[in-house]
Protein backbone atom coordinates (compact mmCIF):
# COMPACT_ATOMS: atom_id res chain seq x y z
CA UNK A 1 0.00 0.00 0.00
CA UNK A 2 2.85 2.36 0.77
CA UNK A 3 4.48 1.82 -2.63
CA UNK A 4 1.15 2.33 -4.37
CA UNK A 5 0.47 5.50 -2.37
CA UNK A 6 3.93 6.85 -3.18
CA UNK A 7 3.38 6.12 -6.88
CA UNK A 8 0.05 7.94 -6.87
CA UNK A 9 1.46 10.96 -5.05
CA UNK A 10 4.40 11.11 -7.45
CA UNK A 11 2.04 10.97 -10.43
CA UNK A 12 0.04 13.86 -8.97
CA UNK A 13 3.26 15.82 -8.38
CA UNK A 14 4.31 15.23 -11.99
CA UNK A 15 0.89 16.22 -13.35
CA UNK A 16 0.89 19.45 -11.37
CA UNK A 17 4.48 20.24 -12.32
CA UNK A 18 5.72 20.25 -8.75
CA UNK A 19 8.03 17.24 -9.15
CA UNK A 20 9.93 15.72 -12.03
CA UNK A 21 11.55 12.39 -12.76
CA UNK A 22 14.91 14.12 -13.04
CA UNK A 23 14.57 15.57 -9.53
CA UNK A 24 13.73 12.14 -8.19
CA UNK A 25 16.59 10.41 -9.97
CA UNK A 26 19.04 13.15 -9.00
CA UNK A 27 18.18 13.03 -5.31
CA UNK A 28 21.20 11.85 -3.28
CA UNK A 29 18.92 9.99 -0.84
CA UNK A 30 17.59 7.87 -3.69
CA UNK A 31 21.15 6.92 -4.62
CA UNK A 32 21.89 6.11 -0.98
CA UNK A 33 18.87 3.81 -0.77
CA UNK A 34 19.58 2.17 -4.12
CA UNK A 35 23.25 1.52 -3.39
CA UNK A 36 23.71 1.25 0.37
CA UNK A 37 27.20 1.30 1.80
CA UNK A 38 28.32 -0.96 4.62
CA UNK A 39 27.75 1.99 6.95
CA UNK A 40 24.13 2.32 5.77
CA UNK A 41 23.52 -1.39 6.31
CA UNK A 42 25.07 -1.29 9.79
CA UNK A 43 22.92 1.73 10.69
CA UNK A 44 19.82 -0.13 9.54
CA UNK A 45 20.81 -3.16 11.60
CA UNK A 46 21.32 -0.96 14.67
CA UNK A 47 17.93 0.69 14.08
CA UNK A 48 16.30 -2.73 13.94
CA UNK A 49 17.95 -3.91 17.16
CA UNK A 50 17.17 -0.64 18.97
CA UNK A 51 13.54 -0.84 17.90
CA UNK A 52 13.25 -4.42 19.09
CA UNK A 53 14.87 -3.57 22.43
CA UNK A 54 12.27 -0.84 22.87
CA UNK A 55 9.49 -3.18 21.76
CA UNK A 56 10.35 -5.98 24.17
CA UNK A 57 10.90 -3.48 26.99
CA UNK A 58 7.50 -1.82 26.53
CA UNK A 59 5.67 -5.12 26.10
CA UNK A 60 7.24 -6.41 29.32
CA UNK A 61 5.63 -3.58 31.23
CA UNK A 62 2.31 -3.86 29.33
CA UNK A 63 2.84 -0.42 27.77
CA UNK A 64 2.07 -0.43 24.10
CA UNK A 65 3.47 2.81 22.77
CA UNK A 66 5.14 3.42 19.45
CA UNK A 67 8.18 1.10 19.13
CA UNK A 68 6.51 -0.95 16.40
CA UNK A 69 5.95 2.20 14.39
CA UNK A 70 9.57 3.20 14.93
CA UNK A 71 10.73 -0.12 13.52
CA UNK A 72 8.45 0.32 10.52
CA UNK A 73 10.00 3.72 9.81
CA UNK A 74 13.15 2.08 8.50
CA UNK A 75 11.27 0.35 5.67
CA UNK A 76 9.10 3.28 4.61
CA UNK A 77 11.72 4.98 2.43
CA UNK A 78 12.55 1.83 0.48
CA UNK A 79 8.89 0.95 -0.04
CA UNK A 80 8.13 4.49 -1.21
CA UNK A 81 11.10 4.39 -3.57
CA UNK A 82 9.68 1.26 -5.19
CA UNK A 83 6.40 3.04 -5.95
CA UNK A 84 7.95 6.27 -7.15
CA UNK A 85 10.46 4.43 -9.36
CA UNK A 86 7.59 2.45 -10.87
CA UNK A 87 5.63 5.64 -11.51
CA UNK A 88 8.77 7.20 -13.04
CA UNK A 89 9.16 4.20 -15.33
CA UNK A 90 12.56 3.21 -13.94
CA UNK A 91 12.32 -0.54 -13.39
CA UNK A 92 16.00 -0.92 -12.46
CA UNK A 93 15.59 1.57 -9.62
CA UNK A 94 12.35 -0.13 -8.58
CA UNK A 95 14.23 -3.42 -8.33
CA UNK A 96 16.99 -1.79 -6.24
CA UNK A 97 14.34 -0.31 -3.93
CA UNK A 98 12.73 -3.73 -3.56
CA UNK A 99 16.12 -5.21 -2.69
CA UNK A 100 16.63 -2.56 -0.01
CA UNK A 101 13.12 -3.18 1.34
CA UNK A 102 13.80 -6.92 1.64
CA UNK A 103 17.19 -6.24 3.24
CA UNK A 104 15.62 -3.96 5.85
CA UNK A 105 12.87 -6.48 6.62
CA UNK A 106 15.48 -9.23 7.04
CA UNK A 107 17.47 -6.98 9.36
CA UNK A 108 14.35 -6.36 11.45
CA UNK A 109 13.60 -10.08 11.68
CA UNK A 110 17.22 -11.07 12.44
CA UNK A 111 17.68 -8.25 14.95
CA UNK A 112 14.38 -9.09 16.58
CA UNK A 113 15.28 -12.74 16.86
CA UNK A 114 18.62 -11.90 18.49
CA UNK A 115 17.03 -9.51 20.99
CA UNK A 116 14.25 -11.91 21.93
CA UNK A 117 16.65 -14.85 22.33
CA UNK A 118 19.04 -12.76 24.45
CA UNK A 119 16.19 -11.54 26.63
CA UNK A 120 14.94 -15.11 26.99
CA UNK A 121 18.42 -16.33 28.00
CA UNK A 122 19.46 -13.52 30.34
CA UNK A 123 16.22 -12.06 31.73
CA UNK A 124 13.60 -14.79 31.81
CA UNK A 125 16.01 -17.74 32.24
CA UNK A 126 13.34 -20.31 31.49
CA UNK A 127 12.33 -22.55 28.66
CA UNK A 128 9.82 -21.10 26.20
CA UNK A 129 6.17 -22.07 26.78
CA UNK A 130 5.65 -23.01 23.16
47 pLDDT more than 80 = yes
The alpha helices in the chain, defined as continuous H runs, are 2-16, 21-26, 28-34, 38-60, 67-88, 91-119
DSSP state of 62: T
Give yes or no for residue 127 having a pLDDT over 80: no
Please report, rounded to a whole number, the percentage of residues in the chain having pLDDT higher than 70. Answer: 86
CA 19: distance to chain centroid?
Answer: 24
Residue 12 in this model has a pLDDT that exceeds 90:
yes
pLDDT at 67: 61
Is the distance from CB of 103 to CB of 27 less than 8 angstroms? Answer: no
| Statement: the pTM of the whole predicted model exceeds 0.75 | yes
Check residue 51 and give its pLDDT. 82
Mean pLDDT for the chain overall: 86
Q: Write out pLDDT tens, residues 16-26.
A: 999 999 999 99
pLDDT score at 69: 65
Q: Report the half-sphere exposure of 13 (CA within 13 A, side-chain side).
A: 16
> What is residue 50's predicted lDDT score, i.e. its pLDDT?
85
| Mean pLDDT in residue range 86-103 | 94
On the question of pLDDT at 90 being above 90, the answer is: yes
pLDDT in tens, 57-72: 766 566 666 666 667 7
Amino acid sequence: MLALSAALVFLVLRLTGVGTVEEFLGNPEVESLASPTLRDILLSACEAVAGMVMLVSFVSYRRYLIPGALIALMIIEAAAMVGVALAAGNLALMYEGAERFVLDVLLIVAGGLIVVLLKQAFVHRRAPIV
